[in-house]
Amino acid sequence: MDTRVETHEFQAEARQLLRLMVHSIYSNKDVFLRELISNASDALDKLRLAHLTDSDLPADVSDLHIALEADRERRTLTVRDNGIGMTRDEVVGLIGTVAKSGTAELLRQLEESKDAAASQDLIGRFGVGFYSAFMVADRVTLLTRRAGEESGTRWESDGDGTYTVEQVGDAPQGTAVTVHLKPADAEDHLFDYTDPWKIREIVKRYSDFISWPIRMEAERPDGESGTRSETETLNSMKALWARPRSEVKDEEYHEFYKHLSHDWQDPLETVSLRAEGSFEYEALLFLPARAPLDLFSRDAVSGVQLYVKRVFIMDDCRELMPEYLRFVKGVVDAADLSLNISREILQQDRQIQLMRRRLVKKVLSTVKGLMTSDPERYRTFWDQFGRVVKEGIITDPDNQRAVLDIASFASTHDADEPVTLRAYVERMKDGQEDIYYSTGQSRSVLENSPHMEAFHAKGYEVLLLTDPVDEMWVESVREYDGKRLRPVNQGDTGLPAEDDGEDGEKARTERDRQESDFTPLLSWLREQLADEVKDVRLSSRLTSSPACLVGDAQDLPPSLERMYRAMGQEGPPVKRILELNPGHDLVTGLRRAHAERAGDPALRETAELLHGTALLAEGGGLNDPARFARLLADRLARTL
């Protein structure tokens, strides 16, 4: 047998993570034991499933358990399991690297932000719970043998950027992690983790619900002067989701959630569900209090844990929860599914689809309940997950209305409080038939857009939609409660017409006069700007800006056009309509100048500048910024 000791360097991200651990950015160091026990529990789950699906697997499953071994003299604590174990390549691949894309960037952000809450979120989110041992250790040794393999692997590191690996022949099945503890330091929240009392406290707090026995040898009094050693089981091993909610304390739910998610905060809400009848299952789900760092990462682990008759099947069953609810954590335990069910079977299984529909409706109804019962917690939920949930408006037509009912949006009604569509409809002005919205990059850009001037003047509320997903869902939702959704930058605003009577008659007369006076200028501008716009006309929506660009109802919105272009999907450019404010000095001045000297080349430049400023005012981009800047500079120079 090859017993050479090989020395390797950690991957760059792993070295950076080790440095954060060694320098102890986390105040609660007790969680290292929670993480090691959680890893051991996962290994036992995987072995039981492997044995159930492959009865020929040469592995001992007669007494699966986790053992904690404390040695006060050597100052070591060992977490041992007889689970699935690892091969040498798995040890190097899983522990020597942090194999998740984007981790390096996230680590950089953590260091720069100095955000303690965000830093605490790191443990576990990228499969790095093992590294937490270096918070309390001078050195960590791992001994493991994969079930069915003849030889094992010893891994060791002191966290200085390198580790050693060697093959060993006498390793028992499973994995043992030995933590060579630093000296206790109460000021640094570094306790004596060889103390049986401290070990019991941590296990009871964090791991009481682990479904495998967690054992430790304990000294008991034996007679008047002697002691005897006996094996003590530290956890209750009760499946939390199978117990009536009335019998479970909130603290137990919270610790179970932390075990599942590796989050450091309590969940925002706990959702329990039990289905009985021809198809039985139990579910315990959690809504997190804040978005995980990898919420928008392509490699993020999502989905809930799937059990069948208390047997762990898979950790990330995406078939049970749609992508737009990927932040939901929890457990679903089915009574009738096959133990060797595969991903392909899951996608087609009718029972899985029934469970998924019921779980989604339960989550959405829970959020809707928060809107009335606890608005503050609902606001927290929507601030953290609203951008993701709105994806469901597009991707889940069966629940589109339910998602719309729980959604809230910024609006011109209140700068601080978002508004639901229901609340918007209830306070619509008399005669208002449409729900008005505007999409763009930021609230300030939208509020100051020329398209908003008529709505500000008439006191109409407008939804301000600034998330990228908003561009998509408003195209798929035509109405809500019979009220059509209408963009403010559309050619026809849909605003109620002028009132009848003397004032209305005067307004129509003035409008007809303006149309007649500006006809030559509008015709000339159509010719000059034919490559950029499809039409030029007078505007009824502008009060202070000289011009704006609007689109027809069937046109692709410019923001959506830019989004497709950014994704590499080039389409034909959409020409828009240039609207002019007949009451603005620039526009009236241009009309007079055109009537006096229509052939003046400077007027062509003014037309370009007018179109360019309209583009910039709505947050758009210029086709030739350099030319626009040169024309503007020349024109400014002439005024000095």
pLDDT value, residue 98: 54
The predicted model gives 237-251 an average pLDDT of 87
Per-residue pLDDT band for 182 (boundaries 50, 70, 90) equals very high
Per-residue pLDDT band for 214 (boundaries 50, 70, 90) equals very high
Burial 95-122 (b: 16+ CB within 10 A, else e): bbebebebbeebbeebeeeeeeeebbbb
Of the ranges 54-58, 572-576, 591-595, which one carries the lowest mean pLDDT score? 572-576
pLDDT in tens, 349-374: 788 888 999 999 999 999 999 999 99
Burial 264-294 (b: 16+ CB within 10 A, else e): bebbbbbbbbebeeeeebbbbbbbbbbbbbb
Collapsing DSSP to helix, strand or coil, 482 comes out as coil
Of the ranges 33-42, 494-503, 512-521, 593-602, which one carries the lowest mean pLDDT score? 494-503
Q: Is the pLDDT of residue 558 over 70?
A: no
Stronger pLDDT, 118 or 53, i.e. the higher one: 53
Q: H helices then E strands: how many in the chain? A: 21, 23
Of the ranges 81-95, 124-138, 362-376, 471-485, which one carries the lowest mean pLDDT score? 124-138
Q: Is the pLDDT of residue 499 over 60?
A: no
> DSSP string spanning 206-233?
HSTT-SS-EEEEEEEEETTTEEEEEEEE
> CA 141, 143, 147 angle in degrees (round to 5)?
155
Closest to 143 in 3D by CA, of 117, 107, 168, 180: 168
pLDDT in tens, 603-625: 999 999 999 999 898 877 888 89
Q: Is the pLDDT of residue 99 over 60?
A: no
pLDDT value, residue 344: 65
The span from the CA of 418 to the CA of 530, in Å, is: 41
Alpha helices in 461-501 (DSSP H): 468-476
Write out the H or E segment, with its range, that includes residue 18: helix 12-22
- Tell me 99's DSSP state: -
pLDDT value, residue 530: 92
Residues 6+ apart with CB under 8 A from 525: 536, 578, 607
pLDDT value, residue 120: 47
pTM of the model: 0.71
Residue 189, phi-psi category: left (phi > 0), alpha (psi -120 to 50), beta (remainder): left
Stronger pLDDT, 557 or 495, i.e. the higher one: 495
Q: Is the pLDDT of residue 114 over 60?
A: no
Closest to 313 in 3D by CA, of 292, 289, 335: 335
The predicted model gives 93-121 an average pLDDT of 53
Residues 6+ apart with CB under 8 A from 602: none
pLDDT value, residue 212: 92
Q: Is the pLDDT of residue 3 over 90?
A: no
The span from the CA of 367 to the CA of 381, in Å, is: 8
Question: Which token pair is 217?
Answer: 């040898």
> DSSP string spanning 448-471?
TSGGGHHHHHHT--EEEE-SHHHH
Closest to 424 in 3D by CA, of 438, 441, 410, 439: 410
Which of 123-137, 482-496, 564-578 has the largest mean confidence?
482-496
Helices 103-113 and 12-22 pack at an angle, to 10 degrees, of 30
pLDDT value, residue 365: 97
Question: Which token pair is 551?
Answer: 């689109």
The span from the CA of 195 to the CA of 188, in Å, is: 17
Collapsing DSSP to helix, strand or coil, 284 comes out as strand
Question: Which token pair is 60?
Answer: 């001992």
| Torsion of the alpha carbons at 389, 390, 391 and 396, rounded to the nearest 10 | 90
Per-residue pLDDT band for 559 (boundaries 50, 70, 90) equals low
The span from the CA of 209 to the CA of 211, in Å, is: 6
The predicted model gives 419-439 an average pLDDT of 93
Q: Check: CB of residue 398 under 8 Å from CB of residue 357.
A: yes
For strands 329-334 and 304-308, give the pairing.
parallel
Closest to 382 in 3D by CA, of 405, 359, 352: 405
pLDDT value, residue 297: 78
pLDDT in tens, 250-298: 998 998 898 888 788 899 999 999 988 778 899 999 999 998 887 887 7
Alpha helices in 459-567 (DSSP H): 468-476, 502-528, 558-566
Collapsing DSSP to helix, strand or coil, 398 comes out as helix
Residues 6+ apart with CB under 8 A from 579: 536, 537, 538, 539, 541, 542, 547, 548, 549, 550
Residues 6+ apart with CB under 8 A from 89: none
Stronger pLDDT, 331 or 16, i.e. the higher one: 331
The span from the CA of 430 to the CA of 413, in Å, is: 16
Quick one: the chain helix, strand, coil %, rounded to 5?
40, 20, 35
Which of 2-11, 415-424, 630-639 has the largest mean confidence?
415-424
Closest to 33 in 3D by CA, of 77, 73, 96: 77
Q: What is the mean pLDDT of the chain?
A: 85
The span from the CA of 431 to the CA of 589, in Å, is: 37
pLDDT value, residue 124: 42
pLDDT value, residue 272: 93
> How many residues make up the chain in this entry?
640
pLDDT value, residue 101: 37
Per-residue pLDDT band for 206 (boundaries 50, 70, 90) equals confident
Please give the radius of gyration of the chain, using alpha carbons only, rounded to the nearest integer.
33
Collapsing DSSP to helix, strand or coil, 430 comes out as coil
Q: Check: CB of residue 447 under 8 Å from CB of residue 462.
A: no
